[in-house]
Amino acid sequence: MILFQQMTVLSLIMLIGFYLAKIGVLDEAASKKISWIVVNVGNPALVVSGSLGEGKIPAEKLLLTVVAALLMYAALVALGQLMPLPFTKKGPQRAVYGVMTVFTNIGFMGFPILSAMYGNSALLYGAMFLIPYNFLIYTYGIGRISGSFSFRKLRNVLNIGVLACVATVLIYSLKMTIDLSMPDVFVQTVTLLSNLTAPLSMMVIGASLAGMTAKELLGDKKLILFSLLRLIVVPLVFFAGFRLFLTDEVMLGVCLVMLGTPAGSMTVMLSQQYGGDARTASKGVALTTVLSVVTLPLLFVITGL
């Protein structure tokens, strides 16, 4: 199974990052710098590479993907208000659970997995999810963690990730309408930079696990139950809904990856920056990352994709 092989490869790279952190090579300062490279160079290049292949995706399929993305995030925001209630009564902790319900790690894990499973053309579908994701993370995400929201934060929505998505759609549209051909130098540069994303991101994730003990990860039974519900039950319920209007297996697979990846690392960053429960956020991201190695392939086995 391609996904199982891919998750195995990513897990091995994650273990390398874990080991490098343990021996002091990949410390916190180095991890932050590598994360910056992934977020601002590697991942945008990976997204743009989705527009450079020879494959063509009909406009109606991209439009359906936009509809699926908007419906998914609208439902997840509603679910983010309800799902944390049985697990915690503490306000800051409940906020973190809510944000982890809505936002998965589609950048660090989702896009590399899509590229490996379906080829770079599938990243066009993924780009349709990243634009509302970024808008919500700087509105709902900040507001939920901090308890308030300033419209000044909206300027962060126009970040390199969103600009890469816009560039991807624009380049692809030009290729479809005027048969635009990109220079080989540009294609090779973007391709080489995009190849940085998967190994560097997984090393950083592995390094983040090095600071946690097994007791910390596995000692919170409520967090384990929440994680399993979020990684298995929620994607399967949403997948059943997507089946009602999506028939293309690649589109369904993209939706499943967007839903089934672990909690987004931005949850930790927002908690640290806006006075949230950073400890719970760190444990949640780490735990869902470890569990997703098993749960994500399981989702594809259950759904038959």
Q: For residue 104, give Cα distances in angstroms to 27, 98, 169, 266, 297.
A: 24, 12, 22, 9, 16
Token pair in block for residue 118: 């379906």
Q: How many CB atoms lie within 10 A of CB 106?
A: 22
Q: What is the mean pLDDT of residues 289-297?
A: 88
pLDDT at 280 exceeding the cut of 80:
yes
Predicted TM-score of the model (pTM): 0.80
Q: Which residue(s) pair with 263 in the sheet?
A: 104
- The pLDDT of residue 148 is 66
| pLDDT given at position 157 | 62
What is the distance between the alpha carbons of residues 21 and 30, in angstroms, rounded to a whole number?
A: 10
CB atoms under 10 Å from CB of 43, counted, come to 28
Expressed as residue numbers, the domain containing 92 is 2-303
Given a contact cutoff of 8 angstroms between Cβ atoms, the answer to whether 143 and 149 are in contact is yes
Q: Which amino acid is at 243?
A: R
Identify any residues that bridge with 104 across adjacent strands, giving them in sequence order.
263
Q: How many CB atoms lie within 10 A of CB 143?
A: 17
Tell me if 291 sits within 8 A of 228, measured CB to CB: yes
Given a cut of 90, whether residue 286 has pLDDT beyond it is no
Q: Looking at residue 154, what is its pLDDT? A: 60
Q: What is the CA radius of gyration of the chain?
A: 18
> From CA 125, how far away is CA 250, in angstroms rounded?
9
Residue 195 above 70 pLDDT?
Answer: yes
Residue 75 has pLDDT above 90, yes or no: yes
Tell me, what's the pLDDT at 207? 81
Structure confidence by residue, pLDDT tens digits, 95-118? 899 999 999 988 778 888 888 888
Nearest to 36 by CA among 208, 200, 275: 200
pLDDT tens by residue, 40-58: 788 788 778 777 766 667 7
pLDDT of residue 227: 92
CATH number, domain of 57, equals 1.20.1530.20
Q: What tokens were used for 155?
A: 């300027």
| Residue 83 DSSP symbol | T
Report which of residues 263 and 5 the model is more confident about: 263
pLDDT mean across residues, the chain: 82
In total, how many domains does the chain have? 1
